[in-house]
Structure 1
Amino acid sequence: MDSRLAVLALHYQNEVLHPNGRIRVGIAEGDPIRERVVHAAERLLTGAREQNLPIIHVRIAFRPDYSDCPRNTPIFRKTVELGAVKDGEWGAEFASPLEPRPTSREFVVTHTRISAFAGTSVEQTLRMLDVRRLIVAGVATHSVVENTVRDAADRGYEIYVAQDACAAANPGAHSNALASMSLISTITNVNEALEAARADM
């Protein structure tokens, strides 16, 4: 197996995915896409585990007083206003059935910016694992996914975006982000991404 491929699973958290979550940037309230995205993400994680691929689960969470939350962007100002993703609370936890498992091939990273790489150990972990290629998926497509993909491309990684395990509350934003990312990554789906990984075994 080519151990140089890993999965980045971004923001599969209660606040983002659960109907009672307070963040609606990725999935609108009552949107039927919610179930499809969760199922696709579950297939991605299950397939990665079956192939023994490393998985880095990235969550966003802030201190209860938001002293570590930047206020320079509308999205983070709104996060504070909503009282969302406070570390230690339900909203910041991973959504069922997408929780990390306690194995040596799964890692959990918490960040407080847009890109998963900003101020975290993501790249250090990928280098430790000798990873050169990434399957990236998460919510929202035009936020954490696109920013992480752009960051990863600039750092020299080859990237596959599993579009069916991504979402944006505005379908146009989802489509536009995928079109934009197609210049620097391969836009695919969970099944095709896992099949490509399987072909390298």
Structure 2
Amino acid sequence: MSERAAVIALHYQNEVLHPDGKIRVGVDDETVRERVIAGAAEMLALARERQWPVMHVRIAFRPDYADCPRNTPIFRKTVELGAVKEDEWGTEFLAQLQPLDNEQEFIVTHQRLSAFAGTQLDHLLRMLDVRHLVIGGVATHSVVEHTVRDAADRGYEVTIVAQACASGSPELHDAALRSLALVAQVTDVQSLAREKAL
């Protein structure tokens, strides 16, 4: 990487990754769940070692869902499940993947498919002079895909950490990564760590 990098960590929340969460996209399989948590932890550790900014992105809606768009099946299902309500356990970050309290780590809350839509994410990244994004999250075929494509359209270089992502099925995960390879580099933490430090 020749430009300053930042990590975008998408939806590492209890509702998504904890066995008691209401969504659990791709993590009903314990092997997948453990792989994603381990991959995300390695990605965060690398960012902290390299002193890259980390954007911890969470999804959360008002308890009455007045701020939740109903134009897509995925958000209608969110309402039906009663998931990711603000100030509830489900919107909190998984214990193993908590943000650190320092000036390099930020929490961004969104209510759309892309982490950029309606948030300060782009402003924060440009303020920090970031041009290369390292992205992981759940689910690969939804928030990861939308955020990666949005980032590419905004001019960022994007690298996806495959083992820090998961979908509702391996087929969806693999298909999303194959498609995203047109606009981003798909790699693993080990390969990323071998690249020259910024």
Shift of 1:168: 0.6
1:31-180 equivalences in 2 (<5 Å): 31-180=30-179
SS of residue paired to 1:68:
coil
Query: Is 2:50–2:197's contact at 8 Å kept on the other side of the alignment?
Result: no
Secondary structure of the structure 2 residue equivalent to 1:143: helix
* In 1: Cα distance, 2:191 partner to 2:71 partner: 38
TM-score of the aligned structures, taking structure 2 as reference length: 0.96
- SS of the residue aligned with 2:55? strand
Measure, in 1, the Cα distance between the counterparts of 2:194 and 2:117: 30
- Pairwise CA distance, 1:29: 2.1
Shift of 1:124: 0.1
Structure 1: gaps of 5 or more residues: none
Q: Look up the SS of the partner of 1:183 in the other structure.
A: coil
Matches of 2:124 and 2:90, distance apart in 1: 25
Structure 1 Cα separation of the partners of residues 154 and 18 of structure 2: 33
Q: Deviations over 1:13-47 (max 9, x none)?
A: 000000111113x2242442101110110111111
**Aligned Cα RMSD in Å?**
1.4
Segments of 5+ residues of structure 2 without an aligned counterpart are: none
Question: Structure 1 CA distance, aligned partners of 2:192 and 2:140?
Answer: 17
Q: Which amino acid aligns with 1:17?
A: L
One-letter amino acid of the counterpart of residue 64, structure 1: P
Q: How many pairs does the alignment contain?
A: 198
| Aligned-partner Cα distance in 2 for 1:114–1:91 | 18
Tell me, yes or no, if the aligned pair for 1:114 and 1:148 is still in contact at 8 Å. yes
Alpha-carbon deviation of 1:130?
0.4
Q: Tell me the SS of whatever aligns to 2:7.
A: strand
Give the counterpart letter for 1:8 in structure 2: I
How much has 1:158 moved relative to structure 2?
Answer: 0.5
2:20 counterpart of 1:6: no
Q: In 2 relative to 1, CA 98–131 (structure 1 residues): closer, same or farther, beyond 3 Å?
A: same
TM-score with structure 1 setting the length = 0.95
